[in-house]
Structure 1
Amino acid sequence: MQIRFGMIVDAEYTARKNNRLKRLIRNADFEQPEASVAAIDYGHNRKINRTLVERLASCEYITEYRNIFITGATGCGKTYLACAFGMEACKRYYTVRYVRVPDLLLDLQAARTGGRFREALKKYINPTLLILDEWLLMKVTEQDSQSLLELIHKRRKHASTIFCSQYRESEWYAKLGGKDNPLTDAIMDRISFDFYKIPIESLDPDKDLSMREVYGLDPSKAQ
């Protein structure tokens, strides 16, 4: 009887954990929910630091409140890698949220106009891990820079953020308004405080193969 009762308790505990994981993954709203660290392709003419990727898959950067910068050309697999890290975080029951920066800024702009800015901002402040895809794909306005600064300031030393960008970190200054802009300095100071950098580089541009093809993804869903 005791053994049977113990089995029932174990089954209930496992079911609750599985349901919690499913809920975390659903709420994260991943662009690529099928992404997996185990399935990352380190070949196909790409240079990527496998040792660092496998180390970060342990999610130690989250406990340290450190950020990750993933940079590389369109189609190199930035989104897949970021979502794979996000999945690992969910498996450890961290709250995660994925968002494209253009969508984030539109959301915050509308919220500011409607007097709901603080409420909307909390959606992005609260997750333990925030994935910002298409980071600085386009030059931002001063108001957008103010919104980004508010978000990044609130998360600094309290949570981790993954930034996915086509541009190298040195090019972010121009996208944010230039080095002479106080907002630019404030944003870069906060996100560059403590971070890991994962550049995804092409070994031979003439032999490039999009990771959309490699992973068999919808062309609109791989960056």
Structure 2
Amino acid sequence: MIDNETVRKLRQLDLSEFVDTLEMQEMDQDTRHLPFDERLQISIDYLYQEKYNKRVSGLIKRSKFRIQDADVASIHYEKREIDRQTLQELATCNYINHRQNVIFQGFTGSGKKYLACALGKEACKQEIRTRYVRLPDLLIERDEATLKPKGVTNLIKKFSNYGLLIIDEWLLDDLLEEDLKFLFEIIERRYDSGSTIYCTQFRKSDWHQRLGGGVHADAIMDRIVHNAVWYDTGQLNMCEHHSFNQQ
């Protein structure tokens, strides 16, 4: 076993996991007598996995997903009439590599939020900085930022820099002109540099009017719709479905 001073140095280098695996090897009869290079390989594999798990856990925590336990493997497909193949393709996160947007469109309770959070978690697993936010909360953050010097500018920069941004309750409430200008700045900066998932009850044909019907509506739609994957979340009310199955 390595001496205490070496253990101290490894922990100071933030390599406590490396110390842990060495200690486990000493207690395991199957590994303690392996050649040095094999033991080193086992230790490095363990260290890498532990560091990766911590990074992913941190990314998931900072993403602030509304549904923390959302997971692609747990998505319900039976009697739901949703496109399984497209959803599984989205789970690979290739759409993020191609800077595509995703729009989950469906009525309240159809599972938009769950699907978005599940895809967000897959992005975190690929170490992509992700953030979930409700549009009303984003606008509240904007209002609070106006009270600080360069607050709005910094907020726009913050939400522009995520590899994946999830905006829930998109277009649920009427938007003021100042709201449209703020959203346009974020969407413009994210255009062709990051991906955004929008969760909305409204069909594409309703968007222009919901966005005010003016030049900002044209500009916002052009940057969102141009390279987007539209996904209908089906007719099954998932809230009622889960409630029924738990009875």
Q: TM-score, normalised by structure 1?
A: 0.89
Match status 1:71 vs 2:119: no
| Secondary structure of residue in 2 paired with 1:201 | coil
Residue 6 of structure 1 pairs with residue 41 of structure 2: yes
What residue number does 1:93 align with?
127
Per-residue CA deviations over 1:38-91 (Å, capped at 9, x if unaligned) read: 2111124x3211111111111110000000010000011000000111111111
User: Is 1:138 the counterpart of 2:165 in the alignment?
Assistant: no
What SS class does the counterpart of residue 42 from structure 1 fall into? coil
Q: Helix, strand or coil: the match of 2:174?
A: coil
Residue 85 (structure 2) aligns with: 51
Q: Which residue is equivalent to 2:203? A: 168
Alignment size in residue pairs = 207
Q: Who is 2:19 aligned against? A: none
Query: What is the RMSD of the two structures over their aligned residues, measured on CA atoms?
Result: 1.4
Q: Deviations over 1:80-125 (max 9, x none)?
A: 0001111111111111100000000111122124331111122211
Aligned to 2:157: 122
TM-score scaled by length of structure 2 = 0.80
Q: Does 1:80 align with 2:114?
A: yes
1:155 aligns with 2:190: yes
Q: Structure 2: any 5+ residue segments left out of the alignment?
A: 1-35
Paired-residue identity, %: 40
What is the CA–CA distance in structure 2 between the aligned matches of 1:101 and 1:15, rounded to whole Å?
35
Q: Deviations over 1:13-40 (max 9, x none)?
A: 1110010010110111101121111211
Kindly indicate whether residue 199 of structure 2 is the aligned counterpart of residue 195 of structure 1.
no
Aligned counterpart in structure 1 of residue 215 of structure 2, from 182, 188, 213: 182
User: Alpha-carbon deviations, 1:126-165, whole Å to 9, x = none?
Assistant: 1100000000101100000000000000000000000000
193, 212, 216: which one aligns with 2:239: 212
**Aligned: 1:62 with 2:89:** no
SS of corresponding position for 1:154: helix
Aligned residue type for 1:212: C
Q: Residue 92 of structure 2: SS of its match in structure 1?
A: coil
For 2:188 and 2:120, how far apart are their aligned partners in 1?
A: 21
Shift of 1:215: 4.9
Instruction: Give unpaired runs (5+ residues) of structure 1.
Output: 203-207, 217-223
CA shift digits 1:153-189 (9 cap, x unpaired): 00000000000001112111111112xx111111111
Q: Which has the higher contact order (CA 8 A, sep 6+)?
A: 1
Distance 1:42 1:64 in 2: 26
